[in-house]
Structure 1
Amino acid sequence: MPFSGLDAWLSSRAAAGRFSGAVLIRQGERVVFSGAYGQASRRWAVPNRLALRFDTASITKLFTAVAALQLVDEGRLELDTPISGIVELTGTTISPRVTVRHLLTHTSGIADDADEEAGESYEALWVDKPVYSVTRTRDHLPNFAAKPPNFPPGEGCRYCNAGYVLVGLAIEEITGTAYRDHVRHAVFARAGMTASDFFDRREAAPDVAEGWDPVTGADGRITGWKQNIFSYPPIGSPDGGAHATVADLVRFLRAVRAGELLSAERTEQFLTPQVRHHGDVWFGFGLEFTLGPDGSVRNYYKDGGNAGAGGIARHYPAENLDVALLSNAEYGSLAVIREIDRRIRNA
């Protein structure tokens, strides 16, 4: 079994402060691995549990993409409609040629609030701007709407958080409902994600892990821990920050494949690579795909990382495996994701 010894490996990393979170791996109807490690609160030494809700960071983009594609199914949105025809963008640098399709597939060319591919820090946005002032979707616009674009629409592929903020604004304009409220009933409720929600970190919601990352000395050793309360806005937005359990992430993947969220046509579209990003990695509508040498899909996934948050939701078609990992520390989560993937590929 590829997961033999994984529990001990994760426990060892958690003991060293190098992983904190929960893991669930399911093959069809059978759970083949599960475990929770580390602490939900560094301040109070509360242990993590499988039933805890974790910040999903950019995995949230999957919920935004599905909500948009549902509107396409309903005939209320077309993928090739210019975003400026839906959302008021007068006075911005966003080209009138940018479409919803461009935004969902990271081919819009618009500038990001913090350009991850250029190594910019999202946390740095909030040094001079109070995080508590950004709670509505439109509050994010000033962080990117006046910046020069990276390339003309459709003439490149560059990961862009801001594109999903614009899609979220389109969802609000079309439905007349706040983004978070719409996703709660159109995605979470329909997928059976009963534990998932958007939690404000200023409120005392139960069973929600706190985000912490280590403070390290010059020699790389951990000397303390810093909470992420000033690292980004207090509540999630269309590009990141919804909360979920690992079980709910697996439920989402299964609900999509079962056609519970989208029509057959839109489900196939969602599960099909759309544009090549680099190497064997392709982008879809929220999902990312790893292709084999013959062009077949080895796996599809969405990962996420932010201060005090990290994780992935991934499906391996050939092995019929769903993997969900959520961490309340950005530090260490990528190494765990890679180890699980290595074990599955080498099995």
Structure 2
Amino acid sequence: MSFTGLDAWLADRAAADLFSGVVLIRRGDETMFSGAYGWASRRWRVPNTLATRFDTASVTKLFTSVAALRLADEGRLDLGAPITELVDLAGTAISPRVTVRHLLTHTSGIADDADEEAGESYEALWLEKPVYTVTRARDYLPNFADKEPNFAPGEGCRYCNAGYLLVGMAIEEITGTEYRQHIRDVVFARAGMADSDFFDRRDPAPDVAEGWDPVLDTEGTITGWRQNIFSYPPIGAPDGGAHSTVDDLVRFLRAVRGGELLSPERTAQFLTPQVRHDENVWYGFGLEFTLGRDGGVWNYYKDGGNTGACSLARHYPAPGLDVVMLSNLTTGGLAVIRELDRRIRAL
């Protein structure tokens, strides 16, 4: 199995400011490809390395989902329980018919803080509300809790960040532990993800990539760069923003498959498509699934994107490949994801 030419392709894109990040492809314990490109700090010209820790954006939802399913394993959380019985949502538009299962599978119908499927901008939420005031999951409630739902619970499927914020709040209520600490204890520590954490961008944490995106003129020419420090809250939440390395995300995928994080029953549930989202994608409990022509799972994954961040953690069962891409640019990440998939399909 060869990925000849991939390094040159990625290097060319980095040289053109179309990619900044790292890629790791593993089969079992064998590294099939690895490479680091671009700048961890564009201001100080510090290069990215395979040890650089990146904002994983929505890949964080996988950690939230596993934590919730662990509580279900322990008999402390009923996936069919209404979220209003677990979290105080009195006076909001959140229906008492919305269950934890609905929230985890994007079938709740609740309104999102920024509706990505409708083209709304998450960055625009913080034009008037200071990002530094939002550091806890509950701080996000005013952004979505009073908005009218998109559909009745269970009667549709629409990607929703806010659903995972509510699940994170439920985890805190059940465990009595702050969400981020709970993820450190039951996901990162158990999976051996020693380099992963939730880093506050206001703190001088080592080996953490800064997020940047280009400023473009009307013709699409790069005229400058802008850091993402005012684009979203300073520290990660249940719907996104945990930091990790490519090695740690491979460890996570393997720990899930190996039953190190969940019971056999919950592991199978986590790795099984639950609801059809569109023609090409099924949603599970955080994971997304692409089916092959035979109807079997061709790959399962979670990707994520935010201003100054783009991420992918994907497993291909047939060739046994784990593929992780982490970038501190929004620009160009999707093209890299598509190229990786194209090359694997051609193997």
Aligned equivalent of 1:184: 184
In the TM superposition, structure 1's runs of 4+ consecutive aligned residues that sit over 4 Å from their partners are none
Secondary structure of 2:120's aligned partner: coil
Superposition deviation, residue 293 in structure 1: 2.4
Alignment of 1:86-235 (within 5 A): 86-235=86-235
Aligned equivalent of 1:293: 293
Aligned equivalent of 2:85: 85
Aligned equivalent of 1:28: 28
Superposition deviation, residue 3 in structure 1: 1.3
- Structure 2 Cα separation of the partners of residues 118 and 182 of structure 1: 33
Secondary structure of 2:277's aligned partner: strand
Secondary structure of 1:241's aligned partner: coil
- Structure 2 Cα separation of the partners of residues 34 and 22 of structure 1: 7
Aligned equivalent of 2:280: 280
1:325 has 2:329 as partner = no
Aligned equivalent of 1:54: 54
Superposition deviation, residue 224 in structure 1: 1.1
- Structure 1 Cα separation of the partners of residues 203 and 28 of structure 2: 37
Secondary structure of 2:33's aligned partner: strand
Instruction: For residues 259-315 of structure 1, give each alpha carbon's deviation from its aligned partner in whole angstroms, at most 9, with x where no partner exists.
Output: 000000000000000000001210000000001122100000000000000010000
Instruction: For residues 315-334 of structure 1, give each alpha carbon's deviation from its aligned partner in whole angstroms, at most 9, with x where no partner exists.
Output: 00001000010000111101
Superposition deviation, residue 228 in structure 1: 0.1
Alignment of 1:234-249 (within 5 A): 234-249=234-249
Secondary structure of 2:324's aligned partner: strand
Is the 8 Å Cα contact of residues 255 and 261 (structure 1) preserved in structure 2? yes
- Structure 2 gap ranges (5+): none
Output the amino acid matched with 1:283: Y
Output the amino acid matched with 1:54: F
- Structure 2 Cα separation of the partners of residues 311 and 74 of structure 1: 31
- Structure 1 gap ranges (5+): none
Superposition deviation, residue 239 in structure 1: 0.1
Aligned equivalent of 2:64: 64
- Structure 2 Cα separation of the partners of residues 314 and 29 of structure 1: 16
The range that moved more, 38-47 or 149-158, is 38-47
Secondary structure of 1:278's aligned partner: coil
Secondary structure of 1:255's aligned partner: helix
Is the 8 Å Cα contact of residues 2 and 32 (structure 2) preserved in structure 1? no
Output the amino acid matched with 2:255: A
Aligned equivalent of 1:257: 257
- Structure 1 Cα separation of the partners of residues 169 and 211 of structure 2: 27
Output the amino acid matched with 2:4: S
Is the 8 Å Cα contact of residues 2 and 344 (structure 1) preserved in structure 2? no
Is the 8 Å Cα contact of residues 2 and 343 (structure 1) preserved in structure 2? no
- Structure 1 Cα separation of the partners of residues 36 and 198 of structure 2: 22
- Structure 2 Cα separation of the partners of residues 121 and 192 of structure 1: 35
Is the 8 Å Cα contact of residues 73 and 263 (structure 2) preserved in structure 1? yes
Output the amino acid matched with 1:260: E
Output the amino acid matched with 1:295: G
1:270 has 2:306 as partner = no
Output the amino acid matched with 1:293: R
Superposition deviation, residue 346 in structure 1: 1.4
Instruction: For residues 130-187 of structure 1, give each alpha carbon's deviation from its aligned partner in whole angstroms, at most 9, with x where no partner exists.
Output: 0000001100111000000000000000000000000000000000000000000100
Output the amino acid matched with 1:128: E
For the aligned residues, what is the CA RMSD? 0.6
- Structure 2 Cα separation of the partners of residues 313 and 222 of structure 1: 29
Superposition deviation, residue 219 in structure 1: 1.9
- Structure 2 Cα separation of the partners of residues 67 and 140 of structure 1: 20
Secondary structure of 2:75's aligned partner: coil
Is the 8 Å Cα contact of residues 227 and 308 (structure 1) preserved in structure 2? yes
Is the 8 Å Cα contact of residues 314 and 323 (structure 1) preserved in structure 2? yes
Secondary structure of 1:250's aligned partner: helix
Is the 8 Å Cα contact of residues 312 and 325 (structure 1) preserved in structure 2? yes
Identical aligned residues as a percent: 76
Superposition deviation, residue 29 in structure 1: 1.3
Counting matched residue pairs gives: 347
Is the 8 Å Cα contact of residues 187 and 261 (structure 1) preserved in structure 2? yes
Instruction: For residues 61-83 of structure 1, give each alpha carbon's deviation from its aligned partner in whole angstroms, at most 9, with x where no partner exists.
Output: 00000000000000000110000
- Structure 1 Cα separation of the partners of residues 333 and 25 of structure 2: 16
Is the 8 Å Cα contact of residues 83 and 166 (structure 2) preserved in structure 1? yes
Superposition deviation, residue 2 in structure 1: 4.7
- Structure 2 Cα separation of the partners of residues 162 and 32 of structure 1: 37
Output the amino acid matched with 1:165: L
| TM-score when normalising by structure 1 | 0.99
Is the 8 Å Cα contact of residues 103 and 167 (structure 2) preserved in structure 1? yes
Is the 8 Å Cα contact of residues 280 and 292 (structure 1) preserved in structure 2? no
